[in-house]
Amino acid sequence: MNSSQVEIWTDGACKGNPGMGGWGALLRQGRHEKVLYGGEPDTTNNRMELKAVIEALKALKRPCDVVVHTDSQYVQKGMSEWLANWKRRGWRTADKKPVKNADLWQELDVLVAEHVLTWRWVRGHAGDPGNERADELANMGVEHARAAMTNKSMQR
């Protein structure tokens, strides 16, 4: 890895689908690391997978060479295979249905244009240390969302 390259591992988690969700990201550049996580009370796993990549890219302060490691084929194939056709068809699928999570895909599309990205799919829960850490962070995001909901209901 060269010193200007940023490696990012992302993951999403959902307890119920839809349900309480979380996202996590580990960013690494040389010796520097940053961890990010968050969650939402009523979401899907795919939304959390997308949110993890979005929040990781938002954390970058300048254009970078980025390698994104994801265990989500939905994200990896969406970016490398499906996105161009969705855009060409006005955010519609091949069978003319609206693209699910189009708001997040559109946000991600804008963010990736600022960087040079390489997408790497990794098998989830297979011992990749970056992926395992991103999974831990995503689960922390679920707990964060759960705590926020508990606090909100206690304030009523």
| pLDDT tens for each residue of 19-63 | 999 999 999 999 999 999 999 999 999 999 999 999 999 999 999
- Mean per-residue pLDDT of the chain: 94
Kindly report the CATH class assigned to 5-154: alpha beta
Say if residues 21 and 114 touch (Cβ distance below 8 Å). no
What lies within 8 Å, CB to CB, of 128 at 6+ separation is 9, 69, 122
The phi and psi torsions of 150 (rounded to 5 degrees) equal -65, -45
Name the percent of the chain lying above pLDDT 90: 87
Look up residue 146 and give its amino acid. R
Q: Which residues does the annotation mark as catalytic?
A: 11-12, 49, 71, 125, 135
List Cα–Cα distances, 98 to 2, 45, 79, in angstroms: 40, 18, 17
**In sequence order, what are the beta bridge partners of 25?**
10, 36
Q: Domains of the chain: which residue ranges?
A: 5-154
Q: For the chain, how big is the Rg over CA atoms in Å? A: 16
SS3 54: helix
* C-alpha dihedral (120, 122, 124, 130), degrees to nearest 10: -80
87-106: per-residue pLDDT in tens? 999 999 999 999 999 999 99
Q: How confident is the model at residue 155 (pLDDT cuts 50, 70, 90)?
A: low
2-12: per-residue pLDDT in tens? 557 999 999 99
Measured distance CA(34)–CA(76) in Å, rounded: 22
Prediction pTM value: 0.93
Structure tokens of 107? 């946000």
* C-alpha dihedral (19, 121, 60, 40), degrees to nearest 10: 0
